[in-house]
Amino acid sequence: MAECKKCGVIIKDDTQFCPFCRCILEDDGEKGKNIYPDAENAAKKVKFVRSIVAFASVCAIVGLCIALYTGADIFNWSLVITLILVYVNVSFYMLTTGRIGYMSKTLLLTVMAVVILIGIDYYTGYNRWSYDYTLPSGVIMLNVICILLMLINKRNWQSYINLQIFNLLCSVILMILTRFGVIRQKVLVIIAVSVSVILFAGMIIFGGRRATDELKRRLHI
C-alpha cells in the first residue's frame, strides 16, 4: 500500500501515482493488491474460449465432409449438424459481445433458431412440425422475453416497442399461414396472437403519453 502525502489518502493497489492529484506515492513496503478488475485479461479469456468453440466447430465440419467424401450416407444429418454448429457459434459471439443490444440479440437469435429448426424439419423428412409448433412458439417466446426486458429495464420500457410491433407483424403472418393451411395446429397460433395483441394493447393503455409518443417517434408520424 502507499500514502499520498499531499491528499492524505491511502491507496490499496500498486499504482505509483495518486488518482486525485497525480503526485508520486510513497510506498510503505507492504505489498498491495490490485482491486480493479482486469477487463483486458477477461476479454482475452472470452476471445480464447470463443476461438476454441469456433475451431472445434470447423474440425467437426471437416470431419463430416471427410465422411461424406468416403461415401457415408449422412448428407441430411451433416447439414443439420452444420446448422446447429453455426447457431452455437453465432449465439456464443452474440452473448459475449457488448456491441449489440439485448433486444437485437434476442430478435436475431430467435429468428435464427426458428430458421434452423425449419431447416432441420426439412432435412429430416419434412413432417411440418416446424411450422405447426416452432413458428408460434417463437412468437410466444419473443413476447415473454419482451415482458422480461421491460420489467428489468423499467425506466426505459418504451424502448422495446419495436419488438412488440415485430411480434404483431409475426402474429399477422401466423394467421395468414393458418388460413392457407400451412400451419395446421391452431391452438399455439391463437395463444401467440392473443399474447401479442394483449401485450401491445396493455402497453398503449397503461403506458399513456410515453407509449404513444414513442410509437409516433418510431413510426415517424
Query: In this structure, what C-alpha cell is assigned to residue 178?
Result: 393458418
Quote the pLDDT of residue 26.
Answer: 60
Predicted confidence (pLDDT) per residue in 92-124, tens digit: 888 777 667 777 888 888 888 998 888 888 888
Residue 91 — very low, low, confident or very high, per pLDDT cuts 50/70/90? confident
How far, in whole angstroms, is CA 85 from its chain's centroid?
Answer: 16
Taking residue 38's Cβ as centre, other Cβ atoms within 10 Å add up to 10
Q: Which helix (H) or strand (E) holds 146?
A: helix 135-152
Predicted confidence (pLDDT) per residue in 171-209, tens digit: 999 999 999 999 988 999 999 999 999 999 988 888 888
Quote the pLDDT of residue 40.
Answer: 59
Tell which residue, 54, 160, 50, has the closest CA to residue 107: 160
Helices then strands (H, E): number in the chain? Answer: 7, 3
- Predicted confidence (pLDDT) at residue 36 exceeds the cutoff of 50: no
Radius of gyration over every alpha carbon of the chain, rounded to an integer in angstroms: 26
Taking residue 84's Cβ as centre, other Cβ atoms within 10 Å add up to 15
Predicted confidence (pLDDT) per residue in 194-204, tens digit: 999 999 998 88
